Structure 1
Amino acid sequence: MTTHRLPLLSFLDLVAVREGGTPAQALDLAVRTAQCAEGLGFARYWLAEHHNMPGIASSATAVLVGHIAGATQTIRVGSGGIMLPNHAPLVVAEAFGTLATLYPGRIDLGLGRAPGTDGATMRALRRDRVEREEDFPRDVAELQHLLAPAEAGQKLIATPGAGTEVPIWLLGSSLFSAQLAAHMGLPYAFASHFAPRMLHAAIELYRRLFKPSKVLAKPYVVIGVPVIAAPTDEEAQLLASSTYQRVLGILTGQRGLLAPPVPGYLERLGYQERQAIADFLAVGVVGGPETVRAGLRALASSTQADEFMLVSDVYEPELRLRSLQLTAQAHA
C-alpha cells in the first residue's frame, strides 16, 4: 500500500485591508508575504479578484500578479482567480500573456465563473452583458486557443499571449467546475477555504471523470485551507478571532476591514452564529505546531490533495508571517 506524499504548500492572498491601515499597507504586506512564502519553499502565490469591497485590495488582480512576480524570484504567481464573466477572453489572454512574457515559467491563470462581487458592481463591470451557463466553458476554450501558438490564417491573435501557453486552472465551489475541469483535463482548485460543504463530492467527481489532456496526464487537486498557527493553541485561537469576525461579516452582509483580535470572541456569540462560522471554516486549521501538524495530516489523508492553498487572515503583519513559518515547519 502506497502512502500519498504530503501536499505542496501555496498561498492565496485577498490582500486584506486592516482596521487602522490603508490599501497601500495591504499591498506592501502582500509583497512581504509572497517573499516569505518563497523563502519557505511554497509552490505558488495566488491573488483573488474581488470588487467593491473596502476590506480587499486585490481587485486589479493582473496588475498585482505582475507586482508580486517582480518582487520575487522563483515562486509561481497567479490568479486564484480571475472571474472570467467580468472580462473578455482576449483581454485576459493579453494581460497574462504579457505577464508570462515578463516572467517566463512563473505565471498561473486560475479562472472562476462567479462575478466576485454584488449585482450592482457586476453591472458596472460588464455593462449590459448577460452571462449564461454555457459561456464559461466556451470562454475557457477561447482562452486556451488564444494562449496556444498562433495558427496559419488565425485572425485573432493575442500579442503578447499567443504561444505562451500560460497554465490554466479551473476554480470552483460546486460540482460544475469539477466536471468541466475533468472534461477539459485541467488542474482543479476547490474553494474549501470558504465553501467546504461540497469538497469531497467535487474532488471525487473530478477524479472519476478526468480525461487526460496534452497539459495534464492525471488529476491534480488543490484545496483552500484557512490556517492560523501560533506557538500555542490559545494564542492561535485569539489570533483567529480576526478571521471569525470577518466570516461573520460575510455571512451577515456586513463586510468591513480586517479587525484586530478580540479575546473570548466566540464565547460572546450565540450558538447559531458560532455554528455558522464553524461551517464556513470546516476545513480550517487553527492552533499550535502539534495541532496544525495533526490538522494538515488529517486533511491530507481525507482528501489526498496534491496541494494546500493556505489562507491566513492574521491582523498583525509580523504574526501573519510567523503563522506561515510555523505552518511550513509543522508540515515538513
Structure 2
Amino acid sequence: MLHPGRIDLGLGRSSGANQVTTQALQPNHEDFGQKFAELLAFFQGDFPDGHPYGSIIATPGRGNTPAIWLLGSGSYSAQLAGSLGLPFAHGGHFMGSNSARAIETYHEAFRPSETLEEPYAIVSVGVICMETEELAQRYHNAAYVSTVRAMSGEPGPLLSPEEIEATPDGPWAPAQDHFVSDVLSHHVVGSPTIVKAELEDLTKRTGANELMIATIMHGYEHRLRSYELIAEACLKGNPA
C-alpha cells in the first residue's frame, strides 16, 4: 500500500474508457449532479421528505462517509467541487494541458463547507524516473509506441524498450499518434534531479496541495524503482 491508513472515495463523470465501454457502463447518461447528491444522502441519511429512496438504509454506509473527492479533467467537476466545498482531483496524467486552469476554476468556485474551510486539490501527473535521463526516455518512448499501437488496432500489454526496438513495425494511426504525443508531452520524465525540479514547478504552477503520480511503464520492478527514486529525491532534506 503506497499510502497506509488512507481511504478516499473519488467520483467523476467519465468512465475512463472508450465510447463503447462508456455506453455499456452508463447507458442512461443520468445527471451526475443528481446522482452525486443521492450518494451523499445515502451516506448521511438526509433524503428530503417523500424522496423515493428515503426509506433505504445504506449499510454500512450511513454515518460512515469516507473522504470524498470529485475527479475531473475539465471545468465541470472543478466548479461542482468548489461550489460544494469539497476537495478536487484533476486528471493531469491524461489532460496535463488543463491542470492549471482546472485548479484555478476550482479555487474561483470554492465556497467553505463543513468539509473544508479552504480549497484542497490534487493534480495527477505521469512520471517516469530512472537513474539516468537516457534510460528514463527509453522507457517513456516504449510506453508511447505501445500506447499508439494499442489505440491503432493492436491492443496488448506495454512492451519493453528491447521489444519495441526489436519490432519497429506495427499499426500506426496518425490521429492516435497525435493524441498520445499530446498526452505524454505533459508527463515528467528523467533522472531524479530533473523529476524533482519539474514536480516542484508543477506544484507552483497549479497551486496543488498534493501530487498523485501515475507511471505508465513496462515491468513491475521498473515501476517500483521509479517510485523509489522519486521518493528519495523529493524527501531528501525534508522530514519524512
Shorter-chain TM-score above 0.5: yes
One-letter amino acid matched to 2:72 = G
Q: Scaled by the length of structure 2, what TM-score is found? A: 0.83
Please show how residues 321-332 of structure 1 align to structure 2 within 5 Å: 321-332=224-235
Q: Does 1:169 align with 2:65?
A: no
Is the 1:242–1:313 Cα contact (8 Å) retained in structure 2? no
1:286 to 159, 177, 189: 189
2:43 to 147, 150, 154: 147
Q: Scaled by the length of structure 1, what TM-score is found? A: 0.61
**CA shift at 1:183, angstroms?**
1.0
2:34 to 117, 128, 138: 138
**CA shift at 1:324, angstroms?**
0.4
- Structure 1: distance between partners of 2:173 and 2:150: 17
1:207 to 93, 107, 117: 107
The number of residues matched between the two structures is: 227
Is the 2:147–2:158 Cα contact (8 Å) retained in structure 1? no
One-letter amino acid matched to 2:21 = T
**CA shift at 1:301, angstroms?**
1.6
**CA shift at 1:278, angstroms?**
3.8
1:316 to 216, 219, 226: 219
Distance verdict in 2 for CA 1:299–1:110, change over 3 Å:
same
- Structure 2: distance between partners of 1:231 and 1:257: 24
> Whose Rg is larger?
2
Q: Which segment is superposed worse, 140-149 or 116-125?
A: 116-125
Please show how residues 149-298 of structure 1 align to structure 2 within 5 Å: 154-249=54-149, 252=152, 254-262=154-162, 276-298=179-201
**CA shift at 1:243, angstroms?**
2.1
One-letter amino acid matched to 1:198 = N
Is the 1:109–1:167 Cα contact (8 Å) retained in structure 2? yes
Distance verdict in 2 for CA 1:217–1:254, change over 3 Å:
farther
Please show how residues 11-26 of structure 1 align to structure 2 within 5 Å: none
RMSD: 2.9
Is the 2:91–2:124 Cα contact (8 Å) retained in structure 1? yes
- Structure 2: distance between partners of 1:179 and 1:254: 38
Q: Which runs of 5+ in 1 are unaligned?
A: 1-33, 38-43, 45-73, 77-106
SS across alignment from 2:212 = strand
Distance verdict in 2 for CA 1:274–1:295, change over 3 Å:
farther
Structure 1 runs (4+) greater than 3 angstroms displaced:
118-126, 149-154, 249-255, 262-265, 267-278
Please show how residues 102-141 of structure 1 align to structure 2 within 5 Å: 107-126=7-26, 129-132=27-30, 135-141=31-37
Is the 1:229–1:236 Cα contact (8 Å) retained in structure 2? yes
Identity value in percent: 37
Is the 2:151–2:176 Cα contact (8 Å) retained in structure 1? no
Q: Deviations over 1:197-254 (max 9, x none)?
A: 2222111111011011111111111111111111111111112233212442465465
- Structure 2: distance between partners of 1:278 and 1:119: 21
Is the 1:147–1:163 Cα contact (8 Å) retained in structure 2? yes
